[in-house]
Structure formats: structure tokens, C-alpha cells
Structure 1
Amino acid sequence: MTDIDPSEYTVDELRDELDSIDDGGVLREVREAESDGKNRSGAKEAIAERLETVSDDGAEASEGENDDDDADETNGNATSGVGIVDIRNNIRDAAADLIGRPLDSVVEIGHGDDGWHAIVEIIERRSVPDTQDILGRYTLELDEEAAITGYRRLDRYRRGDTRSDEEAAASAST
């Protein structure tokens, strides 16, 4: 585990602290700690920006980072060696840049005959309170090597709108 607890910093302080980290694995740990803790979108954006900088500067860091901790989780696809954790990490790193807005969450990941697919939620407009944020739900298509090959928006809604969740639950129970 990393020595940095992102919950101990404001977003601006965290951004300054991240500048001293050059290890993509440590940055991913900080991102995971933030997601498990306060889960602030600004902090996650700062971590993602730094992770992009580190990944761009050191391509060798992104290739060899699948340590023993992740080895058991990446067995999702025996033919290509790309697993669900690799897909999730690729989506986290690329979705916001691709769509041009901050990633809020990865909702679903699946594998089919044509490769991988994922559904993500993107913050399309921030509001105060955040329950009024406008989120877009997008589907991403990925090939067997986890490269994103296409995407499209499925829906837009307010974060606080539970109608679609309630409709899904109602249809599942009938």
C-alpha cells in the first residue's frame, strides 16, 4: 500500500503531492484509495492527469506493472492474456480523454465473441449539489488486446434520478 492517503489532502494539496510520484503503480494505488475513501471527482481527475503524464513519459512502466498482486485477477481471457482488470485499467486511463469529460465510474465490463465491451458513466455537466450533475452513460467497444475501438452514448440523466434503476429492478422482479 502507498504512503499517501489522499483523504488527508485537499484536492489542490493532493495535486502538489502527486507531482512527486513517478510510479504508475503507486498512482493507481492512490486512485484506488481515493475511490474507496472520499471518492472526490476532482481528486480522481488529478490522479488521472498525473497517471497520464507518467504513462506518457515512461512506456516501460505501463507494460511491466502487472505484479503478482494482479496476476490472479487478470485471467479473464486465456487466449490473449488480457483480463478484466487490464480492461478496467485501460478504460479508466483512456475513457475521459476519449470522450472529453471526466470519468465517474465503470458500470459494466463483459467479454463476447467480438471482444470486450464496457459501460461507463461520464460527468457531462457538474452542478451544486452534485446530485444534480448530468451524467452520460456510454458503451465502449474494445478489441481482444484491450484497445478501445469505438464508443457511443446510451443515455443522459441527473445523478439523483433513480427512475432507470427502479425500472430495471421492477423488470427484473417480473
Structure 2
Amino acid sequence: MDDRRNDEPRRARRRPPATAGRVARLAADHVAEMTGKEPEGITSLEQAEDGRWTVGVEVVETHRIPDMTDILAVYEAELDPEGELLAYRRVDRYIRCQVGER
């Protein structure tokens, strides 16, 4: 005998809300997948009131010799509250040895 209390189909379980560390890793993975470039680091991370995350991910776009002349870029990745990629865009590009705000 089936002891189900509810005949409605079970809904797929959503992942728990993402933590900042998990979101940063996911954003880096998403940017790497979309651009084919390995992330160097996270430059910014912010959660909006609606739960969406915006993460700045720095990558090396062009390796040069010497490496202080590498061309770096920052991609901004927007993730939903569970860490799924909603959008990404390149927001900055510069030479590694540049100092100061651009």
C-alpha cells in the first residue's frame, strides 16, 4: 500500500542559497568556460537585494614576455541566487603593470 499524502509530482529541489565563497568560485568557472581563459582572481563581489550576485573576475587575455606586459581583463558575471550564470561582460582591459585606477 502506498502511503503518499500528496499525489502531486515532487518538485525538483533547488540548491541552497549560495555563499559568497561558492559564488566567487562559480563565477570564475563560468567566465573560464565562456572565454576559454583561466581566472587570475576575483576583483569584486556584491549581492543585490533580490539575491543576484555580481562578481568581477580577472583573467589573462594575452600572455606576453615579460609577463609584466600581459594583457588582463576583468569580466563581470551576474549570477542568480543559486549561482547559475545569468549574464557576463568584459568591463575592463589593461596591461598588468598599470598602477592605479583606470
> Given the two structures, how large is their TM-score scaled by the length of structure 1?
0.46
How far does residue 89 in structure 1 lie from its aligned partner after superposition?
2.0
Equivalence for 2:73:
136
- Tell me, yes or no, if the aligned pair for 2:70 and 2:95 is still in contact at 8 Å: yes
Measure the CA separation in 2 of the matches of 1:119 and 1:92: 9
Measure the CA separation in 2 of the matches of 1:94 and 1:100: 10
Measure the CA separation in 2 of the matches of 1:85 and 1:126: 27
Measure the CA separation in 2 of the matches of 1:96 and 1:89: 11
> Given the two structures, how large is their TM-score scaled by the length of structure 2?
0.76
Q: Greater strand percent: which structure? A: 2
Measure the CA separation in 2 of the matches of 1:83 and 1:123: 26
Provide, for residues 89-120 of structure 1, a one-character-per-residue CA deviation record: whole Å limited to 9, x for no partner.
21233221112212111111110034100001
Among the aligned pairs, what percent are the same residue?
Answer: 29
Equivalence for 2:58:
121
Q: Greater helix percent: which structure? A: 1
Equivalence for 2:45:
109
Indicate the structure (1 or 2) with the bigger Cα radius of gyration: 2
Highest RCO, 1 vs 2 (Cα 8 Å, sep ≥ 6): 2
Structure 2: which 5+ runs fail to align?
A: 1-15
Coordinate RMSD, CA, aligned = 1.5
Equivalence for 1:85:
21
Q: 2:22 is matched by which residue type in structure 1?
A: D
Give the number of equivalent residue pairs. 86
Q: 2:21 is matched by which residue type in structure 1?
A: V
3-state DSSP of counterpart to 2:37: coil
